[in-house]
Amino acid sequence: MLSLEERIKKAALKLYRDGLIVSTTNIAELIGAPNHGIVSYFLRKRYSAEIENVKNRFKLSIPSTQILREGLKIYSGNLYEALDTYGSSIKVSTMDWHKNVRIPISINASVAELTGIYWATGFIRENQKKEGSIKSFVIQGRCSDKKLFKNIVRQLIKRHHNLEIDVKYSYHTIDGVEYDNPRILINSLSALAWLTNVLGFPDDKTNLDLPKINLDDITIMKGFLKGVIESSYSITSSKLAFSNRSLNYLAGLKTLFENFNIHSSLIQRSNSSSYRLDLSVEGTNRLKIMGLFSPR
């Protein structure tokens, strides 16, 4: 007869192999316990010292199943490292632990590209729930961005956040024509905290500025611009153009482009509170040569 601890570990391994969440409720169901409280009580008692350790070190609570998963080597997230690196700037939810969420510890060209996509297409949405206000991060493209979201954006999110997220579609009609814009919703407290507290993404996008990453590094600068360009450009008279409600953000882009001798003009759109950055034809061609722009 297996002990309760052995049965719990066996159930946790099975849940992990089946791609399911290792929660006290799921473990209780597998071992035939009447409720999850029995599993929860045992784990809290069994791992009380380890749980207290985490509380003292990071000033946060942790699911008892997290210590179990570490012991069984079935945790593939990096939230401990993120907390060590960013301190109180990172917030972690129980679901972040369960989903093995990862947070970039350093910025390379690939992370910079994802950051460019976030800055160009993302916004923070606040939802009212019974337990209070809950924020999530939404990135939304245009109809022409379907392949980009499915083939590139999802892969970058998987690579850098360890999140498998499906692309949803936002349907609307303009002048009798139906549009289906791709949309990705990121419901991760730690990912949102990294975006806002570490990189500086604002609640109100009119206050958007360039992200707090080392844009003096040419590789990171190119990665960021690649993400911005591929996810938000429009074509006007054979020239690239970028629109946004934040003047500071577009002015920052203008400066980045000037590092490559790409000239542009910044204007306020007529009858609108948004602005547009127009690149020169020569600048647009230069981006093609640099491999930062490939027309769809």
Question: Taking a C-beta distance cutoff of 8 angstroms, is the pair 186, 227 a contact?
Answer: no
Q: What is the identity of the amino acid at 245? A: R
Q: 101-115, 166-180, 210-224: lowest mean pLDDT where?
A: 166-180
Q: What value does the mean pLDDT take over residues 234-247? A: 88
Of the chain, the percentage scoring pLDDT greater than 70 comes to 95
Query: What pLDDT shows up at residue 235?
Result: 85
Most confident of 110-114, 128-132, 179-183, 270-274: 110-114
Predicted confidence (pLDDT) at residue 180 exceeds the cutoff of 80 = yes
Helix (H, G, I), strand (E, B) or coil at 215: coil
**The pairing of beta strand 168-174 with beta strand 239-244:** unpaired
DSSP 73: T
Predicted confidence (pLDDT) at residue 199 exceeds the cutoff of 90 = yes
- pLDDT band, residue 238 (cuts 50/70/90): confident
Query: What pLDDT shows up at residue 171?
Result: 76
Query: What pLDDT shows up at residue 131?
Result: 63
Predicted confidence (pLDDT) at residue 94 exceeds the cutoff of 70 = yes
Quote the distance between the C-alpha of residue 133 and its chain's center. 19
pTM tops 0.85: yes
Query: What pLDDT shows up at residue 216?
Result: 96
Query: What pLDDT shows up at residue 130?
Result: 61
Predicted confidence (pLDDT) at residue 200 exceeds the cutoff of 80 = yes
Query: What pLDDT shows up at residue 1?
Result: 80
Token pair in block for residue 237: 């008279």
Question: Taking a C-beta distance cutoff of 8 angstroms, is the pair 95, 35 a contact?
Answer: no
**The pairing of beta strand 168-174 with beta strand 234-236:** unpaired
Predicted confidence (pLDDT) at residue 15 exceeds the cutoff of 90 = yes
Average model confidence (pLDDT) across the chain: 92
Termini Cα distance of the chain: 63
Question: Taking a C-beta distance cutoff of 8 angstroms, is the pair 189, 97 a contact?
Answer: no
Q: What value does the mean pLDDT take over residues 12-17? A: 96
Predicted confidence (pLDDT) at residue 87 exceeds the cutoff of 90 = yes
Predicted confidence (pLDDT) at residue 67 exceeds the cutoff of 70 = yes
Angle at 176 between CA 172 and CA 178, to 5 degrees: 35
